[in-house]
Amino acid sequence: MANIDDLKYNFDQGARANRFHVEFQLPTAFGGGDAGRNMGLRVESCELPGREIETKEWSEYGQTRLMPTGKVMGGGTTTMSFICDQSFADRLILETWNEMVYTTKDEGTIEHPVFAYYEDYIGSIEIQQLRSDSRHTTSRDDSKGIALTYTLHEAYPVSFEAQTLSAESGEILKFSVVFAYRNWSSEYNEKHRTRSFLNKGRGILDALLSGSNLLSRFGKEGKLRNKLTNLDEKASRIQSLFGGG
């Protein structure tokens, strides 16, 4: 049966919902650069996508079972919320990206759309979930601090919401965008498991107690031994509270 030390050893600070970073790989028509990375800094909320294997009931006789139909549903749409800066840079980029779908270089308007080639307006979106115990520099060459990366492939904005202006509100403006994507992939970054802060403290205490036992042979442990013993008794009581014995 697992005790509290086993639990603490196999559980860290926990993943936090507010520890994330988003990077957009814009279509080539935008000319590359850091525009997509910079707009990702102002994403207020997003989601890690799910996946479902489509099934149907089937039976050769008797009770039915769920069997795959041959279709895996891992694409669709996702909604992201952006915080606006005073230049509305993100809204400008996303509005332009959206217009690329139904306009070409020489023709196409809202009234008379001319849809572009699919490859000309799709991009990708990387959602990086960050570790709670690391700092992240947002550098593409530095994966330190990234726990996992979800990449939405063949993504483009299909809609963005209206924004309400009000003389009675002084809040920062925000807006939501719906992105379509074909599928997604994930990459999990392994990290060597270390003992939690509490377990490190337990280990240090055990080491000090062993050292004081050695000193006691020479009659030099004095008050140190008493203090360490008191700490050990408190630690044991804390373990008992959590069922660690």
The tens digit of pLDDT for each residue in 106-159 reads 788 888 999 999 999 999 999 999 987 666 554 444 556 899 999 999 999 999
Task: List, for residues 151-193, the tens digit of each pLDDT value.
Answer: 999 999 999 989 999 999 999 999 999 999 999 999 988 764 4
Contact 158, 136 (CB under 8 A): no
Task: List, for residues 13-53, the tens digit of each pLDDT value.
Answer: 677 888 899 999 999 888 777 888 888 889 999 999 999 99
- The larger pLDDT score, comparing residue 240 to residue 86, is at 86
DSSP state, 30?
Answer: G
pTM assigned to the model = 0.70
Tokens representing residue 160 in the block: 């963005």
Q: How far is CA 29 from CA 25, 105, 118, 133, 161, in A?
A: 11, 10, 13, 38, 24
Task: Indicate the pLDDT class of residue 218, thresholds 50, 70 and 90.
Answer: very low
Cα angle: 77, vertex 184, 67; to 5 degrees = 90
Above pLDDT 70, what percent of the chain?
A: 67
Q: In the predicted model, is pLDDT for residue 58 greater than 60?
A: yes
Cα–Cα distance for residue pair 48/150, rounded to 1 Å: 7
Q: In the predicted model, is pLDDT for residue 55 greater than 90?
A: yes
In 3D space, the residue among 152, 142, 134, 149 whose CA is nearest the CA of residue 189 turns out to be 149
Tell me the domain boundaries of the chain: 13-51+72-188, 197-241
Fold that domain 13-51+72-188 belongs to in CATH: Pnp Oxidase; Chain A (2.30.110)
- The larger pLDDT score, comparing residue 235 to residue 78, is at 78
State the distance between the two ends of the chain, measured CA to CA, in whole angstroms. 11
Above pLDDT 90, what percent of the chain?
A: 48
Give buried/exposed letters for 81-120 (b at 16+ CB in 10 A, else e): ebeeeeeeebbebbeebbbbbebeeeebeeeeeeebeeee
In 3D space, the residue among 185, 188, 175 whose CA is nearest the CA of residue 80 turns out to be 175
Q: How far is CA 242 from CA 4, 6, 166, 245, in A?
A: 6, 12, 52, 8
Taking 3-state DSSP, the helix, strand and coil percentages for the chain, each rounded to the nearest 5, stand at 30, 30, 40
In 3D space, the residue among 149, 95, 148, 91 whose CA is nearest the CA of residue 124 turns out to be 149
Specify the pLDDT at position 145: 85
Cα–Cα distance for residue pair 122/24, rounded to 1 Å: 11
